[in-house]
Amino acid sequence: MGKPTGFMEIDRQTSREIAPEERIQNFNEFHIPLHCDEQQAQGARCMDCGVPFCQSGMMIGGMASGCPLNNLIPEWNDLVYQGRWDLAAKRLIATNRYPEFTSRVCPALCEAACTCGMATGASVTVKENERAIVEYGYESGTIHAVPPPARTGKRVAVVGTGPSGLSVADLLNKRGHKVTMYERADRVGGLLMYGIPNMKLEKWVIDRRVKI
């Protein structure tokens, strides 16, 4: 843990919003990400709890508490604080197949379970830290196509190119199988493309992932 007193010294800061009078001119995303230095300071707020409920994904009272993907949240929060963005991106994609989607549309169960939030009333900005990491990953080339070392010779058809279809196709491809995807719509993405408005998930984000 890089800064043990970070949560006491640094206030929670989230992305800025475009002014309403400008925002109503279109349906695009209206959040302006923090500067790199500001985001690193937010990473320092992570307490690196002995039991990090943020990444637990436990079911409590029939409801999920923490990240269902068991993302390594305290680890990459600390890496963000240290400015080790490449390693943060590698640790993020180790558990999350599509962080560019989750960092935009996920309800952030991790933040609801954040011990810092319980102690100070302001949880760590996990969701925005995640988004900053994945955007850095694309800009730096850390996130890129990774062909399998060998092919099995087997072919698999996947019907539907929504998040589930994309996930299973990616997994099968990494295991060496040749995957063919079928989609009835004119663009790849399913629910991501046609069910989520641009203000939450712009279409270029989906297209960028599909290209790799």
Within this chain, do residues 200 and 95 fall inside the same structural domain, yes or no? no
Classify residue 211: in a domain, yes or no: no
Maximum CA pair distance of the chain? Answer: 56
Other C-beta atoms closer than 10 Å to the C-beta of 59 total 11
- Assess whether 16 and 117 both reside in one domain: yes
Are residues 126 and 21 part of one domain?
yes
127 and 181 in a single domain? The answer is no
Q: 16: domain CATH number?
A: 1.10.1060.10
The pLDDT of residue 127 is: 97
Q: What is the mean pLDDT of the chain?
A: 94
CB-based contact 163:187 (threshold 8 Å): no
pLDDT attached to residue 62: 77
- DSSP sequence for 51-118: S-GGGT-EEETTEEES-TT---HHHHHHHHHHT-HHHHHHHHHTT-S-HHHHHHH---HHHHT-HHHH
83 is a domain residue: yes
| Its pTM surpasses 0.95 | no
DSSP-derived letter for residue 185 is S
In a domain, 149, yes or no: no
- The answer on 132 and 51 residing in a single domain is yes
Q: Is residue 178 part of a domain?
A: yes
Look at residue 131 and tell me if it is in a domain.
yes
Which residue ranges of the chain lie beneath pLDDT 50?
none
Q: How many domains does the chain have?
A: 2
Domain holding 31, by residue range, is: 6-140
Q: Which two tokens stand for residue 19?
A: 């002014």
Residue 145 forms part of a structural domain? no
> In the listed set 92, 109, 140, which residue is the last one of a domain according to the structure?
140
Residue 147 within a domain: no
Q: Does 65 share its domain with 164?
A: no
| pLDDT at residue 1 in the model | 66
Residues 72-107 pLDDT 10s: 999 999 999 999 999 999 999 999 999 999 999 999
Q: Residue 32 falls within a domain, yes or no?
A: yes
